[in-house]
Chains A and B, each alone.
Chain A
C-alpha cells in the first residue's frame, strides 16, 4: 500500500485582507474612495507596520480590520473569523485614542471591567498589576480617568490592548503622546511580546519607530497598498528614502 504523502497544514493567517474597497458618501457629488482593492496577508507572529501620508486610508483600513466599519467589497478575516465575530474579538487587542473622561471611575476599576469582559477571572489582578508595572502606571491605578495626562492615557490604552493574552494586537499611533523613555520601554515590551508569538499590526507616522519594531511594512497611499517591504535586511533610514520616493512619484504623476 502506498503511504499517503503528508501535506503541510496550511498556516492560519492572523490577518487576511482580500480586495477590499471602501467609498464614503458614494451617492454624493464628491464621493471619497478611501480604499481601492487592498489585498495583503499577515502570518502569525509578525509585526507589521502601516505607513502612509495623511488621508491615505490607514484609519479606514484599521477600522475595517477591527470590524467597526464594513467594507463595500472584499473579504477580511482575523484568524479565519469575521472581525465582528466574538471569536475574533477574543483573540484581539486594540490601542486607540479614546477621549472619555469619566471622573467616577478609576484606572483600576476600568481595567477590572475589561478583565471581566475578557473572562480573566482569577488571573485578572496579576495581569493588570504586571501590565501597569510594565508601562509605569502602578502609581496611577487609583487615579480617576478624568485626571490622567495625555501620555498616561496613551499608556492606559496600551495596557488595555495587551490585557489578557491577545494573539493579535492593533496599535494606532502608539507613540504619539509618549515621552522618549516610554517609547524605549514600549519598544522593549514589543520585543518581548514578539517572542511569545503575538502578531502586531502597527499604524504610525513615526518612521524610525516603525523601522525599529516592524518585520514588514506596508506603504499605503490614495487608498492602495503601493509597497510591501520586508524590513529584516534593510538599513537604517530606508523607510524615509522610500517614503520620499513615493511622494516624488506621486507629485510627478
Chain B
C-alpha cells in the first residue's frame, strides 16, 4: 500500500462520517440494546451466539446499506471521481480505498452498536450464560465475510444505479435470494446448474455457514467455499463495472 493510497483511504473514511453518520451509531445502539434486553420467550439462559446472530443479522445489512448508498454514483455525479482520476491513480485503487473505508465504517458502527449491548447484557444478566468462544469468533468471521459480500454487491449496483435505488435493488435482491434459495433447496436440489446459478447470483453460502455454526451441526467447509466463490464473483463484477462507468456525465 502506497502512502497515496493510505491518504485516499483516510480521506474516503472521513468523507463518510458526516453529522448524520455520527448520529447513526447511537440510533443503532438503541436498536441493538432492544434486541439484547428484550427477553426471548421460552429461554432460560443468556445465549451469546444467539444474541450475536440476532444483532449482527440485523445490523450488518442495514449498516452496509447506510454507508454504501450511492457509493460510486454520488462520486460520479458531484465530480469527486473526476478530480481523482485526473491524477495518476487507477480506478481499481479508487474502488479499493472506497470499499475499505465503507467496510471500516460498517464495522466501527456494528462493533459499537452490536458488541457494546452484548457486553452490558453479559454483565447485568441474572440468567445462566451460554458462551462458546470458538462459536462466537466463527460467527464474527462469517459476518465479516457477509459484510464484504454486501459491500461488493452495493458497489456493483452503485456503479449502474442512482443513489437510493441501489439499496432498493439490494432489498429486492435479498427477497429474491431467500425465495430462490428455498425453492432450489426443496425442488431443484439435484440440479447442479440450478444450485450453481443460485449460489453465484443469489449467494447463500455464508448464511448457510452461519446456520451450521449456530446449530452446531457440522463444520461448514463447503458452504464457506461457495460463499468465497460468490464473493470473488461479485468483486470481479464491481472491478469490471468501475472500469466501465462514464466518469463525466456532463451534457451530451
Q: Using a CB–CB distance below 8 Å, which chain A residues touch chain B? A: 24-25, 32, 34, 59-60, 63, 66-69, 86-87, 89-90, 92-94, 96-105, 109-110, 112-114, 116-119, 160
Contact = CB atoms under 8 A, between A and B. Distances in A.
B219 interface: no
Contacts of B80: 98, 100, 102
B7 interface: yes
B130 to A, nearest CB: 42
15 contacts: A24-B252, A34-B252, A63-B250, A68-B246, A89-B85, A93-B86, A94-B83, A94-B86, A98-B78, A98-B80, A99-B79, A101-B78, A102-B80, A114-B87, A117-B89
Contact of B4 (A63, A97, A105, A119): A119
A113 B11 contact: yes
Residue among B11, B18, B90 with most chain A CB within 10 A: B11
B83 A98 contact: yes
A34 B14 CA distance: 39
A168 to B, nearest CB: 11
A90 B86 CA distance: 8
A100 B78 CA distance: 5
For chain B, give the interface size range: 20 to 34
B3 interface: yes
A104 B15 contact: yes
A93 B86 CA distance: 7
Interface string B165-176: 000000000000
A117 B15 contact: no
B17 interface: yes
B116 to A, nearest CB: 24
Given A105-B11, A105-B15, A113-B8, A100 B79 contact: yes
B88 interface: yes
Contacts of A92: 86
